[in-house]
Structure 1
Amino acid sequence: MIRILIVDDSAFMRKALSMMLEGDPEIRVVDTARDGLEALEKVRRLRPDVVTLDIEMPRMDGLTALRQIMQEHPCPVIMISSLTREGAQATLEALNAGAVDFIPKQLSFVSLEIAKIKEELIAKIKAIAASRAKLFRQPSPAKPAPSPGPSRPETPLVYRRARLLAIGVSTGGPAALQYVIPHLPADLPVPVAVVQHMPPHFTQSLANRLDKLSPLEVVEAEDGMELRPGRVIIAAGGRHLVFQAREAGTVVATPDHPETLHRPSVDVMFTSAADVFQGRVLATVMTGMGQDGRAGATAIRRRGGKIVAQDESSCVVYGMPRAVVEAGLADAVVPLDELAATLTQALTGLSDRPLSFPRMPSVSRDPLPDRP
């Protein structure tokens, strides 16, 4: 049984969330709280498995409460965020401070797609609860079995034919990307394209944050934007990212069709990359729920491209990488803190180059668990 504490200053939101979650036999809402101060008291007393936490509340706001929770009683926290630029910035701060994921407030209970949202939220809570011991360094009764498929290859992966580095990521992605994008060198020989499952406004805030941390230029995708080395393009929330070959070079397009479970979709971006670059793509599948990216990775491999997956021990949710690994598509499976070096070496063929990276931002918990 997964024990949930719901924190929101809106009585309607508390009731709606409770009704949504308690319809599942594996979830129990142990209590609710109206603000951050009440949340802290109930976290100390009830020790819930997962907390849903609103950002804007009286007396003590969600960000302040989150930092206290992470300091005193670390546990998985899902933020309830408004779909505004301010809400996006606050949510990214929360993810940087230790929150595991978020759900958009406006879409949660007034949307006509409430059944789909309920299903996604419950699946997210279950996946995050299952990762609790790993995320917060709690002792496990038994050592987990090694992940299936290839691990770090004895011979370093080298794929200098690549003309694009394509990255797909979802749950846990904003924090994980800060271990990869800022660690890629300014002279990386290929452009980078990223799909992170996020709504509008959030991807712009994510691009701005990564741009400040990185030697590469990081921007949100726009129609007709040139794909070039030295630039990282983040797919815009609510729109896909695809590629178009033109006489002057390759540009990106941002259609809102086809209809897919996620928009932007990793599969849509990977498949377009396979077609436009004739398979000369190095693709990376990182932490996330579900299997978005597996079909696209299949297309890339069929064209001769290479696939790197994040390993299970460093994923917030080992869903998307697992789908790729279990399908036999991964050329290498590496931990998060080695991804940037692995990708750089694969694209440059150099393993001993002196790389100077910007200092990583401090967070209230280390998102990387101990590895055996």
Structure 2
Amino acid sequence: MPIRVLVVDDSSFFRRRVSEIIDQDPDLTVVDTALNGKDALDKTIKLKPDVITMDVEMPIMDGISSVREIMKKYPTPILMFSSLTHDGAQATLDALDAGALDFLPKKFEDIARNKEEAVSLLQTRIKQISKRRISMRMAALKSAGASRFATRSQRAAKVEATEQAITATSNKDKLEQIQSRRKNSNRGSASYKLMAIGTSTGGPVALQTILTKLPKNFPVPILLIQHMPAAFTSAFAARLDSMCQISVKEASNGDMLRAGCAYLAPGGKQMIVEGVGTGAKILIKEDNSDRLTYKPSVDITFASVGKAFRGHVLGVILTGMGADGRDGAKFLKQQGATIWAQDEDSCVVYGMPQAVANAGISSESIALNQMADRIIGEFNLQ
């Protein structure tokens, strides 16, 4: 059965354009269109689409408000369309915070080399995020069911709370055991000189989830490679910096690496590390070639990190489409570095983490809501 898509935009031209692209793929079908956020909410509840494409700026109810309401009433994978401007970046990040899973520029040519590539990109993104619809709705049903169950039976609620406490205690014991083993190992947290994180689709929310939990005294520099348009990375770095205890900045050419600071690779360019130890610095290079699909590329940054820091690196691959990061992580591992991957259940798209896991590169697959605690434990910060 084709994936059913609701197209939302106040522009009749854009609704028609997007609908035509979607209907070209036999695995996709446009179930209806909506003129604004309120219309989208009503039709989502009525038609129960598998995926929604959503504009940001619309009358009556804007896209961000619509996303928030849809996530409350009928959680559905949503792909946002936005302009490649600073305001567009801010609005898109707000939409992702509200629950949207991914985004694309309204001008496809801004990220695609030709019409065929643009068409394929939109169709692929819709298919990828549609895989999350079942887990999103099951989570919503579970939450609603738990709420009704608690209302009906306080006794049952107490039993559930007890079970959760036991589970939490068990998980804490397991974490303490892991930390104990690491403290007694030959490696030790002092061996790490840098942490590098690569991600794509679903990455903004994943990075926010992790970085906001890290303490101000985090002992090493952090490199962040997020597939994102050039107009977005500055706004995203500023957003993270305002929310985190650590410092976060968009990386600049010549930045010296310092502990407790995260450096986000600029969109449309490549971020490379040169030098070692306290003399290590960041080089930002223009990339006008068609040889590499991703700019920034996780592979490029990870490879340079491997040359600069050898095995003294914790590399993490988070949610994302494709396999960027697999080759770079492989090189890092060959130098003696530790590689972790996000687990399948917590990924928006299990592409990049799956690539390193299937290749036997990652030593552990970790749920997103546990990743920050595992990182903190790995660096003996608890």
TM range (shorter): 0.7 to 0.9
Give the match's secondary structure for 2:58.
coil
* Map of 1:174 onto structure 2: 204
* Map of 1:365 onto structure 2: none
- Cα distance change of structure 1 residues 329 and 89 upon mapping to structure 2, 3 Å threshold: same
Q: Is contact 2:277-2:309 (8 Å) kept? A: no
Give the superposition deviation at 1:109.
8.5
Q: Is contact 1:160-1:349 (8 Å) kept? A: no
Give the superposition deviation at 1:223.
0.6
Q: Deviations over 1:181-234 (max 9, x none)?
A: 111111111100000111012111111111111111100011111111011001
Distance in 2 between residues matched to 1:194 and 1:288, nearest whole Å? 14
Residues 104-119 of structure 1 correspond to what in structure 2 (within 5 A)?
104-107=105-108, 112-119=113-120
Question: Structure 1 stretches (4+) deviating beyond 3 angstroms?
Answer: 108-112, 151-160
* Map of 1:323 onto structure 2: 355
* Map of 2:295 onto structure 1: 263
* Map of 1:233 onto structure 2: 263
- Cα distance change of structure 1 residues 35 and 189 upon mapping to structure 2, 3 Å threshold: same
Please provide the CA RMSD for this pair.
Answer: 2.2
Give the superposition deviation at 1:128.
1.0
Greater Rg, structure 1 or structure 2?
A: 2
AA aligned to 2:226 is Q
What percentage of aligned pairs have identical amino acids? 41
- Cα distance change of structure 1 residues 70 and 132 upon mapping to structure 2, 3 Å threshold: same
* Map of 2:121 onto structure 1: 120
Give the superposition deviation at 1:243.
0.7
* Map of 2:130 onto structure 1: 129
* Map of 1:16 onto structure 2: 17
AA aligned to 1:313 is D
Residues 83-102 of structure 1 correspond to what in structure 2 (within 5 A)?
83-102=84-103
- TM-score between both structures, scaled by the size of structure 1: 0.86
Distance in 1 between residues matched to 2:355 and 2:274, nearest whole Å? 28
Give the superposition deviation at 1:275.
1.0
1:202 to 232, 235, 240: 232
Give the match's secondary structure for 1:205.
helix
Distance in 2 between residues matched to 1:109 and 1:191, nearest whole Å? 32
Give the match's secondary structure for 2:230.
coil
2:304 equivalent to 1:279: no
- Cα distance change of structure 1 residues 310 and 110 upon mapping to structure 2, 3 Å threshold: closer
Q: Deviations over 1:66-117 (max 9, x none)?
A: 2221122211111111100000000000000011111111235896523222
Give the superposition deviation at 1:154.
7.0
- Cα distance change of structure 1 residues 246 and 109 upon mapping to structure 2, 3 Å threshold: closer
* Map of 1:301 onto structure 2: 333
Give the match's secondary structure for 2:245.
coil
- Cα distance change of structure 1 residues 286 and 319 upon mapping to structure 2, 3 Å threshold: same
Distance in 2 between residues matched to 1:126 and 1:220, nearest whole Å? 31
Distance in 2 between residues matched to 1:110 and 1:211, nearest whole Å? 26
* Map of 1:77 onto structure 2: 78
Q: Is contact 2:50-2:77 (8 Å) kept? A: yes
- Cα distance change of structure 1 residues 200 and 110 upon mapping to structure 2, 3 Å threshold: closer
Residues 211-226 of structure 1 correspond to what in structure 2 (within 5 A)?
211-226=241-256
Q: Is contact 1:221-1:236 (8 Å) kept? A: yes
Give the match's secondary structure for 1:78.
strand
Distance in 1 between residues matched to 2:339 and 2:113, nearest whole Å? 37
Q: Is contact 2:322-2:352 (8 Å) kept? A: yes
Identify the structure with the greater helix proportion: 2
Which gives a bigger RCO, structure 1 or 2 (Cα 8 Å, sep 6+)?
1
**Which stretches in structure 2 are left out of the alignment for 5+ residues?**
143-173, 183-187
AA aligned to 1:260 is L
**Which stretches in structure 1 are left out of the alignment for 5+ residues?**
141-150, 354-372
Distance in 1 between residues matched to 2:57 and 2:133, nearest whole Å? 25
Q: Deviations over 1:226-262 (max 9, x none)?
A: 1110110011111111111179611111112264111
* Map of 1:336 onto structure 2: 368
2:41 equivalent to 1:40: yes
Give the superposition deviation at 1:159.
4.8
